[in-house]
Structures are given as C-alpha cells and as structure tokens.
C-alpha cells in the first residue's frame, strides 16, 4: 500500500509518470542490495556492544532530519551543505529521487551509493568470516 501511496503523492504533486521513473529502479535495486550488508554490520555491532541499540536508535531519529527527506538542498552553505554531502543515506535517496523529480540520471549519487554498498559488503563479509563461530556465545 505504501508504494501506491507514494505514487499517488507524486501524481498529486505534479510529477507525471514517465520513462524516467524506470531509472529510479536502479536506485531501488541498489538499496535492496545494500540492505543485508547494513543489517549484518549493525547486527554484529549490537552483539558486541549491547548498548549500541539505544545509541543507534537515537542517532537514527536525529539523523533523519539531517537527510534531505524533509528539505531540498539547493546550494546552501553551513550545516545543510555538510548534512547533504556527508550523509551516506543522501546518495541512496538521490539515486531514487532525481530520476523522478528532475528527470536526470544520477550518476554521481549511484556511484557513491555503490561504493558505500561495496564497502559495507566487504565489512559484513569480514565480520562474518572472522566471528561467525563466536557470535553464538555473545548472544
């Protein structure tokens, strides 16, 4: 239902369905491919440091306002500039949003999101390879 709601909001906002929407599927695919690595890394973080659950939860709440979900970056200086360029979720978001709203292929955003995904997969596989036999005793 949420996908239908998103499409309805975009249509009511004046963004008609076009072939550019297909470009956003690449960004969605990248998010789907990166999600298991994110989950694995944060699962190990939670297993090794049980209190990290509260830290990550609070950082997620605050960090949501530092992503350009609620605001649009248009070259501002200061905190918005750093929140836009240094937040990894920004690039995943732009990989899906730019083809729909601006009609352009987000090469830079997809490249950065791809590198982040590769780095996370490398870290997740390293953690799994090194600690998979010991993780049972930590939980």
Q: 1-5, 40-44, 83-87: lowest mean pLDDT where?
A: 1-5
Mean pLDDT within 112-128? 97
In which domain, by residue range, is 103 found? 19-138
- Tell me if 4 is assigned to some domain: no
Q: Given this model, what pLDDT does residue 1 score?
A: 67
Burial of 25 (0-12, 13-18, 19+ CB in 10 A): exposed
Kindly tell me if the per-residue pLDDT of 75 is higher than 80: no
Across residues 90-95, what is the average pLDDT? 92
Q: Is residue 130 part of a domain?
A: yes
What span, in angstroms and rounded, lies between the C-alpha atoms of 137 and 130?
A: 14
Closest CA to 93 of 116, 61, 75: 116
> At residue 111, does pLDDT exceed 90?
yes
- pLDDT above 70 as % of the chain: 99
Phi/psi of residue 30, each to 5°?
-65, -40
Up-side HSE of residue 34: CA atoms within 13 Å toward CB? 21
Output the CA torsion sign for 94, 99, 101, 102. positive
Could you tell me if residue 13 is inside a domain? no
If one counts the domains in the chain, the total is 1
**pLDDT over 80 (residue 71):** no
* pLDDT reported for residue 30: 95
Q: Is residue 59 part of a domain?
A: yes
Give yes or no for a contact between 99 and 21, defined as CB atoms under 8 angstroms apart.
Answer: yes
What does the alpha-carbon distance between residue 31 and residue 117 come to, in Å, rounded to a whole number?
Answer: 9
| pLDDT value of residue 136 | 81
pLDDT tens profile 5-57: 877 887 887 777 777 778 888 999 999 999 999 999 999 999 888 888 899 88
Which whole number is the average pLDDT over 81-89? 85
Assigned domain for 8 exists: no
Cα–Cα distance between 120 and 37 in angstroms, integer? 6
């Amino acid at each position: 239902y949420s996908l239908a709601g998103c499409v309805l909001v975009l249509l009511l906002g004046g963004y008609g369905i076009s072939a550019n929407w297909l470009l956003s599927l690449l960004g969605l695919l990248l998010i789907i491919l990166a999600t298991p690595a994110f989950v694995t890394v944060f699962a190990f973080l939670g297993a090794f440091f049980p209190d990290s659950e509260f830290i990550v939860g609070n950082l997620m709440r605050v960090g949501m306002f530092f992503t350009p979900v609620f605001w649009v970056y248009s070259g501002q200086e200061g905190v918005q500039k750093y929140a836009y360029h240094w937040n990894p979720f920004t690039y995943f978001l732009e990989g899906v949003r730019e083809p729909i709203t601006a009609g352009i292929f987000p090469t830079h955003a997809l490249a950065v999101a791809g590198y982040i995904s590769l780095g996370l997969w490398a870290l997740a596989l390293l953690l799994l390879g090194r600690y998979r036999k010991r993780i049972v005793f930590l939980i």
